Structure 1
Amino acid sequence: MPPQKSFMENAYYVPLSVIYYALAALLALMIYGVIGSIYIMGLDLYNAIYFTVITIATVGYGDITPLTVTQKIFSVTLALGGVGLIAYVFSLTVSVVAMTLQETISGARIRRLMRSMNNHFILCGFGRVGSSVFNELKKRNQKAIIIEKDREIVEKELWDDPEVLAIPESATDEETLMSAGIKRARGVIIATGDDVDNLFITLTCRELNPDIWIVTRASKKENIRRLYRAGADRVISPEISGGEDIYFAAMEPTMVRITVKHDVDDIGGEAEIIVKYGCTLEDIEYHLPEFREPSSGR
């Protein structure tokens, strides 16, 4: 299996084995032509190579002419095989060269966009949880770079959208995180389904950028403490929080909603914090004396 190139070397992997197979088939046809020319046409080695080349290339100068039925059948098979293989190799080469050029240009564009990213999120893992997180980031117009080691998911689901920046590598690799701009990122969201990978990614991110905000997923409750020790700022367990959401939904008819009242001075202090750290506000209700019903904003 050919080695995979890193994302920074080439955003797409182009298999060249198909060209090698076609060239091997062309070489086999040449060997067939030389051997047949020696034993069927009765030529010496040099003339056998000459006759094979001009027959495969369909030049046919007429200086060497097949006479017997066997010689004519051999010449026809050699010519037909040559026409088909040469056309196949030529079209395949043109296609691969065009594909490589297009993908190189596209890869350069992706790398350029990634280098210009700043104050963005790095999302590690694009499974069930990761895709949901990405949808939430998009709804709030947050910039994100996705790192997903499953190349098929990246090629079939993510690269179809030119607005999505995705790296088909493992987030456990330091070079991949550096390519995603971890030094300039606002935060890292680790959403793979493997707690061991999440632990290693957390350690690597904390080492590369000690000040970055890290939110990681925990599939098992016993790993939550380990992830905090590894450097995570927040550890979320969808399995545990999902159970809590179901519980609160069941208890909703008997729950009492408590509203915290803030005066003007409190709102002013909160506004300073929002402006200073670039925060966003969600689910806010303003109780104004002029309105009987509270107005809410999101």
Structure 2
Amino acid sequence: MIIAKEISKVKENVREWKKQGLSIGLVPTMGYLHEGHASLIKKAREENDRVIVSDFVNPIQFGPKEDLATYPRDFDADCRLCESIGADLIFNPEPCEMYEDDFHSYVGVNTLSEGLCGKSRPIHFNGVCTVVTKLFNITEADRAYFGQKDAQQLAIVRRMVRDLNYNIQIVGCPIIREADGLAKSSRNTYLSENERQKATILHKALEQGEKMVRDGETDANKIVKTVRDIIESEPLAKVDYVEIVDWNELQKVDKIDGPILMAVAVYIGKVRLIDNFIVENSIVIEMV
């Protein structure tokens, strides 16, 4: 497996692969890889001749009071996981390699980035879109793989690719969960043992919301209230949002009559966790 710190080294390998007519899959990550990331890399391995994993904690998607400095990092472990699955190249640049001192160019998607996580993290998705754009350009990937846990990010990247005519396929992959239902996340490491146990309330609440949809409930506000009430029954939980939105535009809906995303963001202690389920064509996408 190739470890590349410089953009030029990535491009050098990409040029050689393209000369050979090989397809390239990209898995963008911020490192501290877990089974959720592994599932994306495995999917990319199945569908492409070469797989690039970016391992970069992107500073421009963090607000001034967010956890950039303390975000968990373990590059050696990341390399071992990537190599064991069969990634061909891991791209681990320094911030100065990605953003020069006079960097002024940003990419954003209006409307879709304004609700849900965008309310409390107003610069976040511009940072995501900008770094993803750079990674698309650097790797010339044929496909890029994103997890459903970050559903708003997935929807925004898909819209950006459509609107800007990128020649790349965006592949969404299911949420990977712990045995007790908690969605796998690098931020789970911040939870104390007690908080970790209490955090399962997110999955329990969403399971009830999913059941209501399966049973034919179409009143979005009724489902939202039920899910919120379950979460708020846990004293350690503080709701950031519980919403049902249209899956294409990410705008709030009152009635379920098309593809929707039910998403929650909840603080367990000081740790902000997100989770969701998606309904497309009246079928709930399983919370794996």
Interval of TM-score (by shorter of Structure 1 and Structure 2): under 0.3
Please say which structure displays the higher CA radius of gyration: 1
TM-score (norm 2): 0.25
> Quick check: which one's strand share is greater?
2
> Quick check: which one's helix share is greater?
1
